[in-house]
Each structure stands twice: as structure tokens, then as C-alpha cells.
Amino acid sequence: MIISINPYNNKKIKEYKELTPEEVKSKIENAHIAFRKWKETSFEFRAGLMIKAADILQERSDGYAQLMTTEMGKLLRSGKSESEKCGWVCRFYAENAEKFLSPEEIKTEMSSSFVTFNPVGVVLAVMPWNFPFWQVFRFAAPALMAGNICLLKHASNVPGCALEIEEIFLEAGFPKNVFQTLLIGSKQVSAVIEHPHVKAVTLTGSTPAGRAVATKAGEMIKKCVLELGGSDPYIILEDADIEMAVEKCVTSKLINSGQSCIAAKRFIVVDAVREKFEKLFLEKMENQIMGDPFSPETTIGPMARTDLRDELHEQVIKSINKGAKCLTGGYIPKMEGAFYPATILTDIIKGMPAYDEELFGPVAAIIPAKDENEAIKIANDTIFGLGASVFTSNIEKGKYIAANLLDAGCCFVNDFVKSDPRLPFGGIKESGFGRELSHYGIKEFVNIKTVCVK
């Protein structure tokens, strides 16, 4: 059984029967059959349906927000914004897919030579719980507009969201079996990848999960795209606007109660401004309100599961035992639900979990640096490479650092890292490979075919 539990009160919401291997095979066969017709539809036809999906997402954002809040503890207002952003990505690809995938003429000695972009077929998406709608739609919108078929294996704690997303596509008019949810556990994923009708796989999630999926995809010689963990560094230089930097840093740290791959994780502050930064940062973090995610006053809701909360707390305790100083938080509150308070650890050095590992929750790690060069070195001293930010009043210097010196897939100057349908999104190192969004994302799951005519 797949069980949905409300992390705010730890009460069971609903039980769902997991699909049997035979039922999964049947759904894959149906997806393959649907592909034969779907790939022949026009961009105009697909766009019309995708616009309808966007309308549904934006018109019913309040209801979808309630579902997300109930299943994984997301703040209600954040769920509403997430649903609206999903509508944006649907519209973006409805309006741009044909242009992105238009044949590309290339001059050669041949009488005609060009490149076409053809759909590959059935694509499996293994998606996480932290942004239960957005992670799915940022994959599905380009994949469907390219003419592919989507199978969704969503996180087991958000089955309601998974089924609702399938219903959105059906209500928008997408043919049956073009988008299907597979209510299965992680143990069945390998068999789905092995199926000959499944041509590619994408995963957003942890590095261990990504490694397992990539291994199986490699074994089967199938394309995969991975967006994995991150330990995003935020560099605060001596000439930074500290008040603005603190505001941006706190906002990023507490997005989704800190449960975001691109949330700020490591705050690398040069010694000259460290005292001022820590003082203002502490004030902001201590003013956060932890509680009911349905309340408009709440700024930190519960974490998605109690086991995740407990793992985070263990990282905090291990860091403190190795010499980190806890400025605030750092305890499991005596209240129902998977809550963890806004926490600041400082005096972080290499060898502590707060330095070496991803802190997936409302815990900030402040790492001292003597100067700019050391700050950049520390920022890159990580197995991850998803996002990074640098704060400085010298814009040209900030642009140079972001463009040339930081090892990450998404680098920002004087702002926090965020995704945008118009820009490619993804990481390097153990944060994964491949790109989502923009014209780069829609080309991940197409056959980039060369055609030459003598």
C-alpha cells in the first residue's frame, strides 16, 4: 500500500493500492500505443490542450494548494504560487515549442542539409515530493509538446498530487494514456526502465536515487536527465549590501521550509562583514513563525516527513559535536508534526556535516572566509554544483565570479537562485546532468536527426 500522511499532525490521509507489475506493463503498453497517434499531432493541436491545462492550473490554484499543503506540509500561499507557476510553464511551451523544434538548415556541400527534432517516445519521470506539482509540469510540458508520452512515478508521500496531475491533463483534453501516473514504489522503477517501450528517464531527487536510475539507464543504453541534490553557496563579499543580502539569504533558506534543492545552504561570509551579517541574519531567522501551514502568518511549516526531520537534526547535532556553534534553533520542538525550527550554525569548517552534506530543511550553515579568494574556494569545495549566488556592489566583478569562477549550473548575482521557464536549469558534479526548461530542456528528449540530400 501507498499511504499519504499529513506531516502537520501525522494523521493518515488515505491509502492507495500499489499497481502490480502486470498492471504497470499494461500501462506501458497503452502508452506505447498512444505514442503512435500523439507524435503525429500538430504543434497547434498540442498547444491548444496545453493552454487548457494552464487555465485549469491557474483557475484552481487554491484547491491544488490545499492538496499540496495537506500531503507534504507546504505553506498554503506557496502551493498557490506553485500551481500558478505550473500554468506559466505550460503556456511557455505551448507558445514556443514549435519554434524551438523547427528544422534547422545547415549549409554544407550537399544540396540540402538540415536537422530535425523528433520525439523519442515513452519517457519515465521519477519525481520528488518537495514541489509536487512544479517538478512534474516542468518536465511534462516540454515532453508532451515535443510529442512524447509521459509516465509519472511520483514520490510515495504525495499520491494524491500525482493522481490529480493526471486528471488535469485528461480534463484539458489530452488523449487517454498520453500522461499516466504509476502508483508504484521505488522497487518497481528498475523494471519500468528496462521495458523496451520506455525510451528515456528523468529523475529529480537525491544523489543516491539518481545514481541508481543512471546506472540502470546506462545498462539499458537509455537517455536520462538528472536534477539531484545541492549545497548552494551564497558568498557575501566585503562590499555587499548586507541588509539586502540578509533579506535574500533568509528568503532562499526558508523557501519550502528549507526543502529545496536550490535553497541557500552554505553562507560563506568574508571576515570583514561577518559580525554584521550574523547579527542581522539571526534577527531575521528568530522572527520566523513556525506552525500551521494553512495559516497566512506561518513562515515555516512542517517538514514533509518525521524521518527527514530526524535526519536533519542528526546532522545538526553531529556538527555541534565537532565544534559548530548554534546561534538559534537546533532542537526538535515538543509539538505534534514533523517540525524543525529556523536554525543557524556558525563556525562551520570542513569535516562537519553542515559543511560537507546537504542540509535539506530550515538550517543555515555560516562558513567564515578571510577574503574573496578563499570564499570562492570554499564555495567550490563541495560534491554538488546546482546553484550559487554572490553578493557584491561591484556588478562587473559579480558577473565575472558567477560566469567564470563558481562551479554550478545556475549562478546569480545579488539575488537568490530560482528557476524560470525561459532559462535552462540543472547542475554539474553530483547535482546531476542534463538541463530542464528553456529550449535546452525540450531538446533533451528528442532525436536530433541529421538529414542530408545530394
Give the active site residues: 227, 261
Distance between CA atoms of residues 111 and 107, nearest Å: 9
User: 38: which DSSP letter?
Assistant: H
Share in percent of the chain as helix, strand, coil (round to 5): 45, 20, 35
- 153 in Cβ contact with 179 (< 8 Å): no
- 394 in Cβ contact with 388 (< 8 Å): no
Q: Find where cell 530543511 sits.
A: 361
Strand-strand pairing, 2-6 and 11-16: antiparallel
Residue 268 one-letter amino acid: I
Please give the order of strands across the beta sheet that includes 387-391: 325-328, 343-346, 363-369, 266-270, 233-236, 387-391, 410-413
Residue 42 one-letter amino acid: S
- 354 in Cβ contact with 324 (< 8 Å): yes
Output b/e per residue, 356-385; b: 16+ Cβ within 10 A.
ebbbbbbbbbbbbbeebeebbebbebbebb
Q: Is 152 helix (H, G, I), strand (E, B) or coil?
A: strand
User: 7: which DSSP letter?
Assistant: T
Query: How is residue 211 written as a grid cell?
Result: 545514481
Distance between CA atoms of residues 114 and 103, nearest Å: 7
Distance between CA atoms of residues 128 and 139, nearest Å: 12
Strand-strand pairing, 104-105 and 432-433: unpaired
Distance between CA atoms of residues 363 and 268, nearest Å: 14
Q: How far is CA 419 from CA 85, 88, 319, 344, 428, in A?
A: 10, 12, 30, 25, 16
Three-state SS across 160-195? HHHHHHHHHHHHCCCCCCCEEECCCCHHHHHHHHHC
How many CB atoms within 10 Å of residue 223? 16
Residue 250 one-letter amino acid: V
- 101 in Cβ contact with 442 (< 8 Å): yes
